[in-house]
Amino acid sequence: MSHLQENQKLPTDVKHGQYDPRKLPLESLKGYDLDSGDKVQAPYFFDEEGFLCLNMETDIIVGDYYGEFNGECQYIIEDVENWAKENGGYWEWIDPGSIMFVK
């Protein structure tokens, strides 16, 4: 079963100067399947300006705003945090359901 979302398409136009999402190693951005616990492709998408974002409201765990899974509020899994650091950036909460990669 593929965990690739329909909106996981690289943007054709980037309207910000922070980074080019086409040059990011998206294949190494992983979350955990809620059912199996396996590492799988994180559920990413690109906003209207071309920023890389992660969807927090799927069956793939990359973090949690409300602390439903580990009792802590607003956490992002270590693998995803490390990916951001390795790529010279960090994650910002957009809303309880998504985070954005920022450099």
Give the rounded percent of residues in the chain with a pLDDT score beyond 90. 76
pLDDT for 2 equals: 45
pTM of the model: 0.87
pLDDT for 72 equals: 66
Rounded to an integer, the average pLDDT of 92-103 is: 96
pLDDT tens-digit readout, 36-81: 999 999 999 999 999 999 999 999 999 998 876 666 678 899 999 9
Listing DSSP states for the chain in one string gives -----TT----S----SS--GGGS-GGG-EEEETTT--EEE--EEE-TT--EEEESSSSEESEESS-TTTS-SSEE-HHHHHHHHHTT-EEEEEETTEEEEE-
Task: Return mean pLDDT, the chain.
Answer: 90
